[in-house]
Amino acid sequence: MKLTYKNDHELEGELIGVRRNLHREPELSYEEFRTTEKLRAWLTNAHIHILDLPLATGLIAEIGQGDGPIVAIRCDIDALPIEEQTGLPYASEIPGKMHACGHDFHTAVILGAALLLKAREHELPGRVRILFQPAEETGHGAESVLASGGLSDVNAIFGLHNSPELPTGTFGTRSGPLTAGVDRFEIKVKGVGAHAATPEKGVDTIVTAAQMITMLQTVVSRQSSAIEPVVLSVTRINGGFTWNVIPELVELEGTVRTYNEEIRREIPLQMTRIIEGIASAAGAEAKLLWYPGPPATVNHGEWADFTKQVASNAGYKVEDIPLQMGGEDFALYLQQIPGAFVNIGAGPGYALHHPQFDVDEAAILPAAKYFAALAEQALKKLQA
């Protein structure tokens, strides 16, 4: 597929083609080799310079010249381990893998913005970095991008996510916190296995784990302020192998979502006290394994307001959206670079990560035009 930009109608058709091409061949986090090859070919065909960086998957391109300011626009390129159930003619051809979060939509949008910016390259008062990020779904893809040095001299950065909750033509963001900090945990409960008919001869890990699940909810309801958003969800229980044996080991897994960093640091300590206390009372042992993910995404107020003004000028219906408990590793960029993360309406439809998820492709071209305008106007703002 060779991409050209002659008029809006042709560009829209090509960007929809890009989105469907990627949708057919989804790749999971850190496996986006074919996707990266496609992007490299499309960008090269458009004579867009690609930076030489130590990235195994994903890439950063650059448009513009000179010593002026540098703005980055970012999309994510990885898919999810979900079996698609849409029945679309361009549905995933890879069993058990699907673009169920719309990263194919994001990629088409930012690629379209790159083509539009390339057409105005000599008028840009600086440079635009086009970031196609791998492994967002792991919560750690941004780390590899930052480590590559590809954003070390960027003055402002912007990213997007499609929203099935917002109708097409609607734009949403907010100043300050937008998405939550995301952490994963595992709890291993070890007791003494026994026949179900003689539980007194063992230490019951099932009962002990059940008490832990119940008591862990007090971290939110009784140990955190009622005005601070906190979610603690146990999402997996694994224990036992037959109906008449009390197992020696039970494993729990789940996630914690927070906005307040002080509360975020305190929660694993609170959880440890609970699980160790319950385990001790039961004569069992318990261990908490904590896996930190990305922090809360905190938009810089000046740039969030700027994105809304550009969106309004572009014809979007602009909304201040509520806090979201989902996570986003774009947060790591905003810890180092001023900028903002925004939502582009592409619904209504099934929720993100649903096997029947799809986006309204009519939202692709307007979003591409928006991000091209946002990048150019941000350069002018920085230059001024």
Provide the annotated binding site.
101, 103, 137, 161, 353
Distances in Å between the Cα of 7 and the Cα atoms of 84, 306, 347, 361 are 33, 28, 26, 17
Specify whether the CB–CB gap between 29 and 138 falls below 8 A: yes
| Annotated binding-site residue numbers for Mn(2+) | 101, 103, 137, 161, 353
Identity of the amino acid at 255: T
Which residues is 60 bridged to in the sheet? 131
- The residue behind tokens 């930190």 is 292
Which residues is 182 bridged to in the sheet? 257
Closest residue by Cα to residue 79 from 16, 33, 48, 116? 33
Specify whether the CB–CB gap between 29 and 141 falls below 8 A: yes
Closest residue by Cα to residue 156 from 346, 16, 352, 341? 341
- Residue environment code for 323-353, b if the CB has 16+ CB neighbours within 10 A, otherwise e: ebbebbbbbbbbeebbbbbbbbbbbebbebe
Which residues is 161 bridged to in the sheet? 343
- Exposed / middle / buried, residue 107 (Cβ in 10 Å: 0-12, 13-18, 19+): buried
Q: Which long-range contacts (CB under 8 A, 24 or more apart) does 379-384 make?
A: 379/64, 379/68, 379/69, 379/71, 379/124, 379/125, 379/126, 379/127, 379/128, 380/125, 381/306, 382/68, 382/69, 382/71, 382/126, 382/155, 382/156, 383/68, 383/69, 383/125, 383/126
Helix (H) or strand (E) holding 109: helix 103-119
- Report the alpha-carbon distance of residue 146 to residue 20 in Å, rounded: 29
